[in-house]
Amino acid sequence: METLIVILVGILISIGTYLILSKQLLRIVLGASIVGHAVNLLLITSGGLKTGSAPLLGEKVAGFTDSIPQALILTAIVINFAVTALVLVLCYRAYQSFGTDDMEQLRGNEQ
Amino acid sequence: MTIFYTFIFLPLISAMLVPLLYKYFNRIVHTGWFVLLVPSSIFVYLLQYIPGVAAGDTYKYTLSWIPSLDMNIVSYVDGLSLLFGLLISGVGTLVIIYSIFYMSKVREALHNFYIYLLMFMGAMLGLVFSDHLLVLYGFWELTSVSSFLLISYWYERKSSRQGALKALLITVLGGFGMLAGFIMLIMMADTYSIREMIANLDVIQSHALFIPAMLCILLGAFTKSAQFPFGIWLPDAMEAPTPVSSYLHSATMVKAGIYLVARMTPIFGGSSVWFWLVAGIGIITMLYGSLTALRQTDLKAMLAYSTISQLGLIMCLLGVGSLAVYFGPGESGTIFTVATFAALFHLFNHSTFKGSLFMVVGIIDHETGRRDIRYLGGLMQVMPVTFTIALIGGLSMAGLPPFNGFLSKEMFFAAVNDVSQTGIFGLSSIGILFPIIAWVASIFTFVYCMIFVFKTFGGQYRPEKLTRKVHEAPWGMLFSPALLALLVIFIFFFPNVLGKYILTPALTAILPMMPMSPYDLKISAWHGLNMELVMTIGVIVVGLLLFKTTKQWIQTMRSYPQKLTLNHWYNQGLSGTERLSVSLTNRYMTGSLRHYLIYIFSFFVIVLISSLLLLHGLQFDFASNAAISIFDAGLVLGMVIAAGTVLFAGNRIVAIVALGALGYMVSMFFVIFRAPDLALTQMVVETVTTVLFLLCFYHLPKLTKSIERIPFKLTNLVISIAMGLTVTLLALSANGHKLFEPISSFFENAFELAGAKNIVNAILVDFRGFDTMLEISVLVIAGLGVYVFIHQRSKRREQNEIE
């Protein structure tokens, strides 16, 4: 299972990277979101998968899954959301100011 | 001890007072009169060391600076530093008197001038008295900086700025080399003190860094003292006011390199590399300087090249003198000790006559408005006193009796004759070159001295070519050069006074291992009919012949192609380096985000993959893998399809919806992986994000909903696959390397410790509550950011409407 998820993560990272390398601002944001998902999956895989029940003490079971990665991912999701929201507004503003969403046209140093 | 430092730092302290004096008193009194007190009092103070130092005493002073690092201002007064100290303060006094009459009280920014000059004086004094190598380096760079400021004193002129920049680049390059050499020396000897290094010679001379340290230190000395091929900054430094040229670029700063070579002779002397570099470069510089001086028409440039040539002569003598270390006490050793003595003697003489010659040029410039010998002539009748001084200085430089230059030139010829007869260091075969080059260079020196004196003062007086009405200079301007000229004659008649009290102690400092008997070091004007005298007569005869026929050959000299000069190569090199760096930077700093990301990703992949391979970290362990159910496989497949859709979608909305689908599938994974809180959050966040995406692009009306298909780029594909592969390999290897048990079992006590049954929530708000607090801050900041972005836009629109 872990191997399968890691391979999935690899595929998602590849797709995300390809999108980030494109020149459209929207694709870059999409790519960054995909990479974000991939990293979250990688985090939860690092704690081992399906080793016990959900980390709720009410359950009368022998073992729980690792709770630390879950707490970390929860933080990561929220931060990822905040950053995505900000970047989206930034894209929106950039488009309004410069009239383009093409990264090649948004170069700083005109030669 | 404190009195000594008061005097050494007096120039630096008084530099701070100059602006005040200038502001309140300059309208009444020329600021220079106040400044005059500084060097003159230092000179008088240093005079009292002469009896003690002449008797063989040395004085050591320590001023605590950073004691924990063993960085203290250690000063050492011996013959060599006293000789330099007297030169600096003595010539400094005369130069300031001269500058009072040369620099206009009304037109010039005198406070700047005297601050820079005092800074330089303080740095130079600190330099020659330092025993601590790093402190010496500090003062060394301060001389470079203050010289830079002085050369660009008339900063509104382009040539001044360029000359200053050139001088700074070359001398600081050498300074850095010297610093490296000093650090090597310090490492070898394990001390900062020059004195302790000399006491510990065996360790240094057998060390592997001996030669590198020597080369680095010589680089510093050669750049500062304008030796071949680093001398090109000196003629350009002539853009400085004439008192500065006279002080820095003839009498003091350019001799800092000479001082360093002399100081280091006990450490490096006796090695063949040292001898060949110092003596060889010195004699080449002498020839180069005298040849190039002949080509100049500007008097100051001529004197600059003549300074280069004379510095080469002194450097050559120091190189020859270092053979005394090789031979040690004995007859041969004594012969070469005399060469070092001659170096010191000529160093002193050069300061006297060159200082006065520069001042003479300043007077001519000041009174006629011209410095070019093609416009000058016949000034003898109008400026008789200036002419007399120029004649004395010029003939002394040419090496004629009865002037001090004659004595030191005779000693120079004696030294090069001696060295050609020594069989060591491969001298038996090419040693004969030394006297030949020295003789030829002396002829050229003679010729340009003649040109300097007689093309300016002799010939026809043509007042129509001059910009001002010519008359004799005021007495104040004539005072300093006249005093120096008197000194030139005085030293010729009484050389042994100087020799006994000043030069012999300096010699003891350079060659501490040699027994000095005063008998060997008597300077005499007449020592029989010998080779040296024949050479001098030859110089005069051939020189006069060449001078008489100047018109026939001088045009050939001046038409020497500009493209073959060192200056041309320097300029080419400088602009070439600039072009290279501009084109190099433009090649990779393209401004394209994609290119920068490619660099970052490639670096990431290369570093991680190579370290994985090199450190044998590529090990997989699949033993602890959980089983794969049909749901898992289906979800993985679905996610790959969703991500692929995002990649290949031709429609904005499709891409956004596919991304949403991907997010929901991630939340399903969280369900399968027993993470209910995560699944909940992921679901909510994904929904809001999708809405945001849609909102954002709904408000971009000009953009069509469709986007062009993502263009295929092989580079992007390769880097993306490499990135995915790197992450996969790293994650797999990490899974195979579980080093210890996780600490999660501690958090299973959540109920006992925190009263919570949900472990994840307990971690978030109790065990690791700080993370959550800061995460909330992130949300707040992002929210504020979003608000500001949108609000600011509407405000600007209002402003535009008003406009």
Residue of chain B minimizing CA distance to A59: B757
- Tell me the chain B residues in contact with residue A30 when contact means C-beta distances shorter than 8 Å: 646, 655-656, 659
**A58 in a structural domain:** no
**Per-residue pLDDT, B803:** 41
pTM: 0.83
The predicted-structure confidence for B295-316, as pLDDT tens digits, reads as follows 888 999 999 999 999 999 999 9
> How far does the CA of residue A85 sit from the closest CA of chain B (Å)?
7
Q: Which amino acid is at B688?
A: V
Residue B281 pLDDT > 90: yes
**Cβ within 8 Å, pair A34-B702:** no
Which comes out higher in pLDDT, residue B664 or A95? B664
Question: Which helix (H) or strand (E) covers residue B59, if one does?
Answer: strand B59-66
**B708 in a structural domain:** no
**Per-residue pLDDT, B741:** 79
**Cβ within 8 Å, pair B601-A17:** yes
Output the CA–CA distances (angstroms, integers) from residue A6 to A42, B122, B399, B636, in the order listed. Answer: 7, 69, 88, 11
**A110 in a structural domain:** no
**Cβ within 8 Å, pair B723-A13:** yes
Cβ pair B394, B484 in contact under 8 A: no
**B718 in a structural domain:** no
> How far does the CA of residue A1 sit from the closest CA of chain B (Å)?
5
Distance CA B205, CA B189 (A): 10
**CATH code: domain of residue A87:** 1.10.287.3510
Task: Nearest by CB to A77, from B682, B727, B759: name it.
Answer: B682
**Per-residue pLDDT, B795:** 55
Q: Is B773 exposed, middle or buried (0-12, 13-18, 19+ CB in 10 A)?
A: exposed
**Cβ within 8 Å, pair B778-A79:** yes
Q: How many domains does chain A have?
A: 1
Q: Which of residues 760-789 of B touch A (CB under 8 A)?
A: 760, 763-764, 768, 771-772, 775, 778-779, 781-783, 785-786, 789
**B155 in a structural domain:** no
Q: Which of residues 155-214 of B touch A (CB under 8 A)?
A: none
The H-assigned helical ranges of A1-111 are 2-20, 25-46, 68-98
**Cβ within 8 Å, pair A75-B764:** yes
What sign does the CA torsion over B231, B233, B238, B242 have? negative
Residue among B57, B74, B60 nearest B505 (CA): B57
Size of interface A-B (CB pairs under 8 A): 269
The predicted-structure confidence for B711-737, as pLDDT tens digits, reads as follows 788 899 999 999 999 999 999 888 777
**B130 in a structural domain:** no
> What percent of chain B shows pLDDT beyond 90?
50
**B584 in a structural domain:** no
> How far does the CA of residue B674 sit from the closest CA of chain A (Å)?
5
**Cβ within 8 Å, pair B724-A13:** yes
**A111 in a structural domain:** no
ipTM of the predicted structure? 0.94
- Tell me if chain B has a CB within 8 Å of the CB of A8: yes
**B505 in a structural domain:** no
- Tell me the chain B residues in contact with residue A74 when contact means C-beta distances shorter than 8 Å: 677-678, 681, 760, 764
Distance CA B27, CA B235 (A): 35
The predicted-structure confidence for A36-78, as pLDDT tens digits, reads as follows 999 999 999 887 777 778 888 877 777 888 888 999 999 999 9
Cβ pair B748, A57 in contact under 8 A: yes
- Tell me the chain A residues in contact with residue B592 when contact means C-beta distances shorter than 8 Å: 103-104, 107
**Domain endpoint, select from B653, B686, B703:** B703
**Cβ within 8 Å, pair B692-A88:** yes
**Cβ within 8 Å, pair A74-B764:** yes
- Tell me if chain B has a CB within 8 Å of the CB of A46: yes
Range with the poorest average pLDDT among B1-5, B291-295, B489-493, B603-607: B1-5
**Cβ within 8 Å, pair A75-B771:** yes
Residue among B116, B144, B95, B109 nearest B14 (CA): B116
Residue B173 pLDDT > 90: yes
Residue B609 pLDDT > 80: yes
**A57 in a structural domain:** no
**Cβ within 8 Å, pair A50-B639:** no
Distance CA B727, CA B604 (A): 10
**A46 in a structural domain:** yes
Q: How many angstroms separate the first and last alpha carbons of chain A?
A: 52
**B674 in a structural domain:** yes
Distance CA B588, CA B600 (A): 13
Q: What is the mean pLDDT of residues A91-110?
A: 73
- Tell me if chain B has a CB within 8 Å of the CB of A61: no
What SS3 state is found at B75?
Answer: strand
Residue B693 pLDDT > 60: yes
Residue B650 pLDDT > 70: yes
- Tell me if chain B has a CB within 8 Å of the CB of A35: no
**A86 in a structural domain:** yes
Q: How many domains does chain B have?
A: 2
Output the CA–CA distances (angstroms, integers) from residue B101 to B105, B356, B377, in the order listed. Answer: 9, 15, 24
Q: Which domain, by its residues, includes B802?
A: 768-803
Residue of chain A minimizing CA distance to B748: A57
**Cβ within 8 Å, pair A26-B652:** yes
- Tell me the chain B residues in contact with residue A42 when contact means C-beta distances shorter than 8 Å: 727, 731
Residue B517 pLDDT > 80: no
The predicted-structure confidence for A70-84, as pLDDT tens digits, reads as follows 999 999 999 999 999
**Per-residue pLDDT, B801:** 47
Q: What is the mean pLDDT of residues B235-242?
A: 91
Distance CA B583, CA B603 (A): 23
**Per-residue pLDDT, B721:** 95
- Tell me the chain B residues in contact with residue A1 when contact means C-beta distances shorter than 8 Å: 625-628, 632
Q: Which domain, by its residues, includes A41?
A: 1-51+63-103
Tell me the pLDDT band of B708, cut-offs 50, 70 and 90. Answer: low
